[in-house]
Amino acid sequence: EVQLVESGGGLVQPGRSLRLSCAASGFTFDDYAMHWVRQAPGKGLEWVSGINWNSDSIGYADSVKGRFTISRDDAKNSLYLQMNSLRAEDTALYYCAKDGGSGDYIDALDIWGQGTMVTVSS
């Protein structure tokens, strides 16, 4: 079964850091790009960051550029999001999502985890 399981969320004070993890199983992880998408309470979906299959193409939303860093460890079938200088507006449910395209081809997000909640508050 193809599965993505996020972890690492929690309550954090403004200005502090948090690292999210996503454990993948059921598919050849290193063949696919991966993404982080977030959803603030009661709001829509916002793409946060993506990384291609070999980590040589990485993108970020303007809202997190310079503060968040995406990475992957193919040996551990894991995706990460290092979040620094957190703000109240970063409060959201963070989803890990698998890209449907293999290699350098970017496609729709075909598999999603259940998300991990990040709350930034003093």
Partner 1 sequence: EIVMTQSPATLSVSPGERATLSCRASQSVSSNLAWYQQKPGQAPRLLIYGASTRATGIPARFSGSGSGTEFTLTISSLQSEDFAVYYCQQYNIWPLTFGGGTKVEIK
Using CB under 8 A as the criterion, which residues of the chain lie in contact with partner 1 when the complex forms?
35, 37, 44-47, 50, 59-62, 95, 100, 106-110, 112-115
CB of 10 to partner 1, least distance (A): 19
Nearer to partner 1 by Cβ, of 14 and 105: the residue is 105
CB-CB contact of 79 with 5 (8 Å) = no
Nearer to partner 1 by Cβ, of 27 and 112: the residue is 112
CB of 120 to partner 1, least distance (A): 21
Q: What is the DSSP string of 11-74?
A: EE-TT--EEEEEEEESS-GGGEEEEEEEE-TTS-EEEEEEE-TTSS-EEE-TTTTTTEEEEEEG
Nearer to partner 1 by Cβ, of 73 and 110: the residue is 110
CB of 45 to partner 1, least distance (A): 4
The Cα–Cα gap between 53 and 105 comes to 9
CB of 39 to partner 1, least distance (A): 9
Relative to beta strand 92-102, strand 32-39 is antiparallel
